[in-house]
Structure 1
Amino acid sequence: MPRTTGHTPEGHLPGGFPHRTAHLLERGYQPVSAETEHTALTVHGTLPPALDGTFLRIGANARGAHDPAVDHSFGAAGMVHGLRLGDGRAHWYRNRWLRGDAISRALGELPTPGPRHGADDNVNANLVRHAGRTLAVTDGGALPLVIDSGLRTLARTDFDGTLPGGFCAHPLTDPVTGELHAVAAGQTDDEVLLLTVDVEGRVRGASPVPVKGRPWMHSFALTERHTVLFDLPVAYDAAEARAGSPVPYSWQGDRDARIGIVPRGRSEATALWLEVSPCFVFHPVNAFEDADGRITVDVIRHERAFDRDRLHPSESAPTLWRWTLDPREGAVVERQLDDRVQEFPRIDERRTGLPHRYAFTVELDPEQGAALCGPALLRHDHVSGRADRHAFTGGRTAGEGVFVPRDALAPEADGWLLTLVYDPATDRSELHVLDTADFTGEPAAVVQLPMRVPHGFHALWVAGEW
């Protein structure tokens, strides 16, 4: 059952998660070996005509041998998959490696043009649309890559020379201003940069915030007036870096776990730090604040990560939690909202930084801590406290869902949820389109692909032509 705790060590989840990564050897996780393109895709059901755009998904896809026993699960070359929908039809599917230096050399191509930052230019974590460009982004300092509608890598970008260093894996768009916000955390500095990219695609603000020991801030949260930082016990590990790890971070139990609250829009930013129980957060759901200054932050909370297993986030059963931050009292109340194992939260992004009622997550198999997919999608209603479950049949597993509103004025979470689903019986993938008006029912449409899309990280919907 859901629980409420304070921020003492007694409040965290008991026990550990079984170290089980055998599922990473299953076919659905194996990389594909070639770039392909397919047209005239088969559609079962009816694709809503209003779905005019491209569904994109990014993930790590090694070119050549990949062994989960020795290769970091986050370290392989990035690949983007895309499906173009429109006029009630599925026009094409294609996949392309993102052209970092190693992939360009392997394919005998010229290097990707544009500036550079850091030693590693591999980008494989996430996708974002901003200022008329579709960007592939990642942790660790590599610059974003610009891709076109054919999924070709066009260039690296430092936002016309305005980006002072690296970028991040989870930038957030303010739905009110249209600006893009990021928290850039590098492997060499004891500070992070709070970045604001204006609607023209240029960095107009870069505020440094001191931190201790180079924490891995994979993500952050945004409210109307504040940025919320996660300074948690996964941090830079020099020994891992010397050993050549592409993701040189590990669990460091002697570090404090704390949440930083930083006012937005200040050139000299100072964080108010509040302690929480030791844990790690890859993905917050959303954050918002009330009239009294309290901040609500919903997160997917891992008990720990990269401790006994440095290659996979397999050591805990992530669940949905709510942190209520009270800056005046300097206190945090931690409450578990749902005890099912889940990850990859998404909301109606028109509510980013604002109070939200609904959240979508991927329900994971409790035996697979490092899973990138699961047997069901969940829709959490934070008003009623109810969670609806859309289960997939025949052993199928789904990845992160992307919500698309029915129209610009549709109520929150009224529209469609799109997700890639793997069918082990056919060794092929499908795009499922769920109508949120009948979330637990049959999909409105299923687009069959003639190939498998390996389980990956994050997805994006790009409306219209681009």
Structure 2
Amino acid sequence: MPEVFQPFASFGLQHRMPMRFEADVFECEVEGEIPEALKNGAYYRTGGDRLYPTLEEDIILNGDGMFSMFRFEDGHVSYRSRYVRTERMKAEMEARRRLYGKYRNKYTDDESVGNLPNRDNTGNTYAFAHHGELYALREDSRPYRLDPQTLETLDIGEFGDLKSSALTAHPKIDPKTGEWWSYGVFAGGEPTTDASIHVFDRGGKLIREQWFHTPYPGLCHDWGVTREHIVLPIMPLVADEKRLREGGDYYQYDPDLPSKWGVMPRDGDPATDMRWFDIPGIVMGHVMNAYSEGDTVVIDTPCSPGNCFSFFKDKNGNQPTMPETITQITRITFDLSQPDAEAVTLEPLNGALGDMPKIDDRFAMEKYHTGYFALRDFPQMGIGQIDWDTGEIKVHELEGAASQEPVFVPRAPDAPEGDGYVLVAVDRMAEKRMDLLILDGNDVSRPPVATIKLPFPQPMCFHGCWVPA
């Protein structure tokens, strides 16, 4: 008998049902006028959804990749969404049932399933473009390549002599060199302390790979790269092979462990030059930006006082309370001229509750002034804009709705920082549909420049990018 669909656990202690919905909308309804900077190009996004039923108590990170695009053509906008047709999905489609079990736990798979090399590669985390290619990234795997016009899944990307089995779902593109900076924890494919930093040039050629060990086998979802330094955070959500063999979760939160922050010179060797700092009592998932000023390294990141990855229980079997999951954008400063115990300063930004931080990517890796984020200070929901010089926060208020990740597009290649537009998908829960807002990057509190309407909802996407035509 076919399995029934179970709700899966999402962030903020929420539960969602899969949508199982690929869509095409030719000529979307548009209110307002599409700006000249967005007349031609595509906004790509990806998130997790399940084609076949999940196990009970499954989590959003285990969803099949649902890749989507808003294509802009001479001021007209069309929409398309397609599953990332991974080896895993194709096997399930052939069997016409679920074959794969819990998130990153091969020991929970159907007994008919062999040891699929790309078992965990669902392509559900970051729609990423580099050297003319479009990828569906996932932090534990090598990404799938997609056709940027049709969203057809092509193949798993080729990455030269790369040894790491993992490419982070949060790469950093150097705006000056065009290099793709990446890393992988559990780089050998198993939950160990093996890790790798790797760099590809602007043409996609591997030019650097260095292996090292992290302090413990913890979660590392995002990182910071500056012009002079690398910052690699390891969170106290710990993976354990024994627990996996017993059918348990991939990660388990250990509140007794401090988060570990590795800082090293950008041109150094992580095996010998990484300096590890302890920051107890916080968990982070994403990075807004990072920069260096002499011996001082700054990283801006939403931090929670407990486990913001709320679908993973702690080592005592408890889920976090809601206050423990709330993230606040925090400036963390490492003064490398000081001893470890005196080197770290944390400065939470008042009013900056939320996540999914983004910047004007032309100013990545250096001192910057403007940041954007999804504001989640319930009941106040919206899109926030930070002026780091003054600490001022401007807010585009949302009523009965919630924003996903904002993405910035400059008005022109040489426009001042923040002079451009913010693309942000907004879930209209009561109306059961989604809008794509185009906001003024200089002041998101203003009414939308344009609103692109979809007549239906879409699954939550995690991360995406704008690609000009």
**Bucket of the pairwise TM-score, normalised by the shorter protein:** 0.7 to 0.9
1:341 Cα shift? 2.4
Map residues 222-241 of structure 1 onto 2, 5 A cutoff: 222-241=225-244
Question: 2:385 aligned with 1:386, yes or no?
Answer: no
Give per-residue Cα distances to partners, 1:63-116, cap 9 Å, x unaligned: 13357x6111211111111110131211x211111122232134449xxxxxx8
1:365 Cα shift? 4.5
> In the alignment, is the contact (CA less than 8 A) between 2:42 and 2:69 conserved in 1?
yes
Unaligned stretches of 5+ residues in structure 2: 1-8, 96-115, 314-318
Match of 2:381 in 1: 375
Q: Cα distance 1:37–1:238, how it changes in 2: closer, same or farther (>3 A)?
A: same
Which residue among 90, 98, 102 is the counterpart of 2:88? Answer: 102
Which residue among 11, 26, 48 is the counterpart of 1:60? Answer: 48
Distance 1:151 1:423 in 2: 25
1:163 Cα shift? 4.6
> In the alignment, is the contact (CA less than 8 A) between 1:191 and 1:211 conserved in 2?
yes
Which residue among 459, 463, 469 is the counterpart of 1:454? Answer: 459
Higher relative contact order (CA 8 A, sep 6+): 1
Question: 2:427 aligned with 1:422, yes or no?
Answer: yes
* Percent identity for Structure 1 against Structure 2: 25
Q: Tell me which amino acid in the other structure corresponds to 1:211.
A: T
Q: Cα distance 1:438–1:86, how it changes in 2: closer, same or farther (>3 A)?
A: farther
Which residue among 240, 260, 278 is the counterpart of 1:258? Answer: 260
> In the alignment, is the contact (CA less than 8 A) between 1:402 and 1:419 conserved in 2?
yes
Match of 2:160 in 1: 160
Match of 2:3 in 1: none
Report the structure, 1 or 2, having the larger strand content.
2
1:202 Cα shift? 1.9
TM-score (ref. length: structure 1)? 0.85
Match of 1:358 in 2: 370
1:439 Cα shift? 1.9
Q: Cα distance 1:287–1:437, how it changes in 2: closer, same or farther (>3 A)?
A: closer
Q: Cα distance 1:408–1:385, how it changes in 2: closer, same or farther (>3 A)?
A: same
Which residue among 305, 322, 325 is the counterpart of 1:316? Answer: 325
Equivalent position SS for 2:14: helix
Match of 1:300 in 2: 302
Distance 1:84 1:459 in 2: 13
Query: More deviation in 235-244 or 258-267?
Result: 235-244
Q: Tell me which amino acid in the other structure corresponds to 1:452.
A: P
CA RMSD of aligned residues (A): 2.5
TM-score (ref. length: structure 2)? 0.84
Q: Tell me which amino acid in the other structure corresponds to 1:64.
A: Y
Map residues 11-50 of structure 1 onto 2, 5 A cutoff: 24-25=14-15, 29-50=16-37
1:205 Cα shift? 0.7
Q: Cα distance 1:20–1:38, how it changes in 2: closer, same or farther (>3 A)?
A: closer
Q: Cα distance 1:45–1:74, how it changes in 2: closer, same or farther (>3 A)?
A: same
Give per-residue Cα distances to partners, 1:330-382, cap 9 Å, x unaligned: 31011111244200000111111100101101111548xxxxxx820000001
Q: Tell me which amino acid in the other structure corresponds to 1:258.
A: K
Equivalent position SS for 1:168: coil
Which residue among 81, 85, 105 is the counterpart of 2:68? Answer: 81
Distance 1:66 1:179 in 2: 38
Equivalent position SS for 1:102: helix
Distance 2:252 2:452 in 1: 40
Q: Number of residues paired by the alignment?
A: 425
1:216 Cα shift? 1.1
Q: Cα distance 1:119–1:21, how it changes in 2: closer, same or farther (>3 A)?
A: closer
